[in-house]
Amino acid sequence: MNLSEAGVSRVNGYLFVLERSLKTFLPPDVVRDAVREIESHVRERIAAVDGAGDERSALEKILAELGPPLRVAQAYSVERTIDEAILTGHLVPMFSAVWRLAVTTMVGFGAALGIFAGFVISFAFLAIAVMKPLFPDNVGLWVNNESGIPHDFGMRFPAPVDEHVILGYWVIPISLFAGLLFLVLNYRGTKRFLIWWRNRRLS
């Protein structure tokens, strides 16, 4: 279908708003590439439409299926951030990708909560390993003096008078191992979630 002047203006208006929306999420050089890519997709869709039909209805249908410019810009920026996170494996792009999914989707929000909890647990164990040499009587596996049953692992200030810590300085390697284990597992889990999300979008 060959567009009339009104049709060309409608497409240009959509791309203009899209470009303005993309500028809030992406750097200028990336925005130009994104607009060209989406424009090419739109024009391919238009060229495939039978020219005998109503131009306005066909054009509005194509743009409606593509989505509002702001939503398209958000989706494009999220997908680009996810691709960067998966390819580089760096923490900053991974956190950025998870954050963008968290503020735009319920699945992303739930995943972000789990990922955040995993990193908190990791750093908590590492903090215990660091604090044990500084406060040996306040950090460790806590045992009740009367029952002799362990019930808590961590730091307590001030130390309870009816409890004491056991394991001694073995707390340090145990906490380091647990903290690094949670850190690695959480990192791999985050990357797998982003790969799953990208594959889900592609399918």
3-state secondary structure the chain: CCCCHHHHHHHHHHHHHHHHHHCCCCCHHHHHHHHHHHHHHHHHHHHCCCCCCCHHHHHHHHHHHHCCHHHHHHHHHHHHHHHHHHHHCCHHHHHHHHHHHHHHCHHHHHHHHHHHHHHHHHHHHHHHHHHCCCCCCCEEEEEECCCCCEEEEEECCCCCCCEEEECHHHHHHHHHHHHHHHHHHHHHHHHHHHHHHHHHHHC
| pLDDT surpassing 80 at residue 203 | no
pLDDT in tens, 66-117: 889 888 888 888 888 899 899 999 988 899 899 988 988 899 999 999 999 9
pLDDT at residue 51, rounded to an integer = 65
pLDDT at residue 179, rounded to an integer = 96
**Alpha-carbon dihedral 10, 12, 18, 23, rounded to 10 degrees:** -150
| pLDDT surpassing 80 at residue 1 | no
| pLDDT surpassing 90 at residue 151 | no
pTM for the structure as a whole: 0.70
Cβ pair 154, 124 in contact under 8 A: yes
Q: How confident is the model at residue 45 (pLDDT cuts 50, 70, 90)?
A: confident
